[in-house]
A = this chain, B = another copy of it.
Amino acid sequence: MPATLQTIADELGVSRSTVSNAYSRPDQLSPELRSRILAAAERLGYSGPNPTARSLRRGKVNAIGVLLTDNLSMAFTDPYAVAYLRGLAEAASARETSLLLLNLPKDEEAGRRVVGNAAVDAFCLYCVPDWHGALDLIRARGVPIVIGEDPDAFGPDAGYVGIDERAAARRLGEHIARLGHRQIAIVAHWIVDGGVTGPVDADPDALRYYVTGQRVRGFRDALVAAGVPWDRVLLINAADNARDEGGAAAAHALDRLDRATAILTTSDVLALGVLDALGARGLRPGRDVSVTGFDDIDEAEPAGLTTIRQPSVERGRLAGEILLDPPEDPARRRLTLPVSLVVRATTGPNTKELA
């Protein structure tokens, strides 16, 4: 019923190819005929080549798939993720490519349907639970991939733009240890899934979520090297990477007799929540309790948060460029970016008597 190339062709008595050329290769026909064709299209309500058909024929859709977790509020709410997405979007739109946001449902089957139905030229994986079964399907689809977390999750062919998570976390741990803290809690998201916020007894070498695993291991590296027995470190799960979860998690470290003198977190967002919890209890950050974040989001500086600064917009932009203009040199498709330790006011020397 709606007009197609053929409709226009019939109307003017020219071939379908010519009408197609009028849109896609204007140099292939006379300007005069071209304008007659466009006029006829206008008249018949034809709005140009069907994007799906064109994509099928050309084998290209001009879209990058971005996987988001079930809880997509995070992608839009977490300042770090937002910055990353912005960089990605910039790189994409510079190449007239769009972003297809895929919400990956928890349910395995549904997840495979979503991924399987996604018409994209490439996938960008970031902040995705790396154990999800739908990831196998992505692998199988054989389209280019860039990942931001576990560099080995998709083999050497996948692009990678990330940081050395473990070494970065280690620097925070060393900073805290050097300040003399021995009573330490770690607030980390997705240590276990299931949505519980609270202390957990987990083996750092067996965490499923790569980023948290590496960061917790980095903390441990530093603390153990500084002589803090690992079994005295309180490990607290945050159900999500959200400010209020950070506050709820912190309560478990603060409301007990052997209160922690330092709380290491796996993200600035969680750390801000921890600071909220301190404030609610009249505790002074950096004096009574030291707190560290991770990412150095915009809000970190006004909050005086000690943290690890890592590129955000840049990281997204690089991911997009690797997908859309893959560098010849394979080494340039796998980037480990530098980070830096930013010391601010939320960390200070341990003032509590050592046990």
Q: Does A47 contact B (CB under 8 A)?
A: yes
Copies in the complex: 2
* Chain B residue nearest to A110 in the complex (CB): B96
Q: Does A82 contact B (CB under 8 A)?
A: yes
B96 adjacent to A98 (CB under 8 Å): no
A119 adjacent to B76 (CB under 8 Å): no
Q: List chain B residues, Cβ under 8 A from A62.
A: 117
A63 adjacent to B100 (CB under 8 Å): yes
A126 to chain B minimum Cβ distance, whole angstroms, is 14
Given A99-B100, A101-B98, A118–B51 Cβ distance below 8 Å?
A: yes
A94 to chain B minimum Cβ distance, whole angstroms, is 9
Q: Does A85 contact B (CB under 8 A)?
A: yes
Bin the interface of chain A by size. Answer: 35 or more
A89 adjacent to B116 (CB under 8 Å): no
Q: Does A140 contact B (CB under 8 A)?
A: yes
Q: List chain B residues, Cβ under 8 A from A83.
A: 76
Query: In the assembly, what is the distance between CA of A110 and CA of B98, in Å?
Result: 13
Partner of A119, one of B89, B116, B119: B119
Other CB < 8 Å A-B pairs besides A47-B116, A52-B55, A92-B103, 12 of them?
A45-B140, A45-B142, A49-B116, A52-B119, A54-B117, A61-B119, A62-B117, A89-B101, A96-B110, A96-B114, A98-B101, A98-B114
